[in-house]
Structure 1
Amino acid sequence: MRINQYISQAMAISRRETDRLLKAGRITVNGAVSELGQMVSPDDIVRMDGKPIENKVHSVYLALNKPAGITCTAAPHIEGNIIEFVNYPERIFPVGRLDKGSEGLILLTNDGELANAIAHSDHGHEKEYLVTLDKTFSDEFIANMAGGVQIPKAFTKPCDVKRVSEDEFLIILTQGLNRQIRRMCRAFGYTVTKLERVRIMNIELGELPRGEWRELTDEEVEELKEQLGM
């Protein structure tokens, strides 16, 4: 794995803190100062300030069908935080965010490098949502949503939008503006009554029951990393 991921997992610190240690030259691999992005194997000897660092943490990749009302934060003082809800026996954190009032697919992991790669909206990774509105909509609404929408402080990128029923549609986004879908719909006079994420890149929600989680398969993780260029 990359040295950034190794240090982040072994020391239970953020990617930013990890990069700071590496840039300061405090991390060595087999006696040589490590570089950002350097690959390490189980046989390599990694040290910080001359003291050995052993990574005993195995990578965890979970898919959760988040219920509405759960907050995507690891902060223990926040009631209804996602870490407390999942109650996983090892340290993990959510990848990106899903509004408290929204539900559906969210990933949790201890792999800081993967989480960072997915969370960066400028990488153009697809996320798909099933949206229910407070009233029926026209085909013109679908076309307007797909073409890009002026919302406060931004104009959204063109996206794929497909009608599901008279008041439901599927939308695929490649950017992650705050409350983007709700604001896009509001621009045309609609209110979102239900927002469910059903896919993140190659990971699909499928039949996973609301409130439950599962481990990603090796094949899913491998394809996910391939799409991320890892």
Structure 2
Amino acid sequence: MSSDNPPLANQPVTVRLAHFIALAGVCSRRQAARLIEQQRITVNGALGTHQQRIDPNSSVQVRLDGELLCGQVSPIYWLYHKPVGIDCRLLQHDPTSLCHQLPPSSHCYPIGRLDKDSRGLLLISNDGTLTQRLLHPDFEHHKCYQVTVDKPLTRHFLESMTAGLDYGEGLTRPCQLQQLSENQFEICLTEGKKRQIRRMSRHLGMRVTDLLRTHIGELALGNLAEHCFRALTREEYQQLMALKHSQPAT
């Protein structure tokens, strides 16, 4: 019988180790797989394996770097207005790290990153399934930014950014772009290459002087002040769940 079939009555419900780690609110399943590969996960004192299955309701002890992980935790969904200077990498030794802005022991993390020199909307959660869905390139969830550059915008710049270009890491996807002023534009992307907007702009002879993320899907920064967190509204939560259960783009 396939291990993916429904369990028989009175049999324990088990999940793969990476799924258990995601349920504990540590990270996404993809990131959990990396932790297993790095031999940072133990199960009852022995190194964990990818094929290992865990009963979340049992007394099994799963540890990350020696720290005991609990089973499924209550989901957390926050919006955060990240200012310039905060690093999204969760590094305890770095005083600029986002981890020092998060409540202790919350096991939350940003779903996607903003560069240290960028600002704006971050979604903070402990939902590994949502993280995997929002970060997977097949789902093409859009993110919108207001961008200021150091020179007046040109028709060539606007058309090239919209159509997609290759700045050395493959052709970027076509995107929506609207000019806001002489040197400012709004751009909506459905992919998230590292420092993509800055590198696209630099390839076309422009330097980004300010980058503000305003939207993640239908979630909007609005008037949320810098450094501040807030929980999602009921409507935003429903929109987020729609993203969580959406189908891949065709």
Q: TM-score range by the shorter chain?
A: 0.7 to 0.9
Contact 2:25 2:72 in 1 (8 A): no
1:93 and 1:109 in contact (8 A); partners too: yes
Instruction: State the distance in 1 between where 2:207 and 2:172 align.
Output: 18
User: CA offsets, 1:82-128, max 9 Å, x none?
Assistant: 12024466221111111000000011111111112112233211000
Contact kept, 8 Å, 1:60 with 1:92, in 2: the verdict is: yes
- Select the residue among 5, 12, 15 that pairs with 2:29: 15
2:54 is aligned with 1:27: yes
Picking from 141, 144, 165, the partner of 1:149 is 165
Unaligned runs of 5+ in 2: 1-13, 37-47, 63-68
- Pair 6,220 (structure 1): closer, same or farther in 2 beyond 3 Å: farther
Indicate if the aligned counterparts of 2:25 and 2:127 stay in contact, CA closer than 8 A: no
In 1, are the aligned partners of 2:28 and 2:129 still within 8 Å (CA)? Answer: no
Which runs of 5 or more residues in structure 1 are unaligned? 29-44
In the alignment, the residues of structure 2 paired with residue 54 and residue 179 of structure 1 have an alpha-carbon distance, to the nearest angstrom, of 35
Q: 1:8 to 1:227 in 2, by over 3 A?
A: closer
2:140 aligned with 1:124: yes
Q: Once superposed, what is the RMSD of the aligned Cα atoms?
A: 2.8
1:166 pairs with one of 178, 182, 187: 182
Total equivalences in the alignment: 212
Cα offset for 1:144? 1.5
Q: What is the TM-score with the length of structure 1 in the denominator? A: 0.81
Query: % of aligned pairs identical?
Result: 34
TM-score by length of 2: 0.75
Alpha carbons of structure 1 residues 79 and 140: separation in structure 2 relative to 1, 3 Å: same
Please give the per-residue CA displacement for 1:35-81, whole angstroms capped at 9, x wherever unaligned.
xxxxxxxxxx7337599x97462111111110011000122112211
Q: What is the SS of the residue equivalent to 2:235?
A: helix
Partner of 1:82: 98
Equivalent AA in structure 2 for residue 111 of structure 1: D
State the match for 1:188 in structure 2. 204
Residue matched to 2:225: 209
Q: What's the counterpart of residue 109 of structure 1?
A: 125
The list of structure 1 runs, each at least 4 consecutive aligned residues, that deviate by more than 6 angstroms after superposition, is 18-22
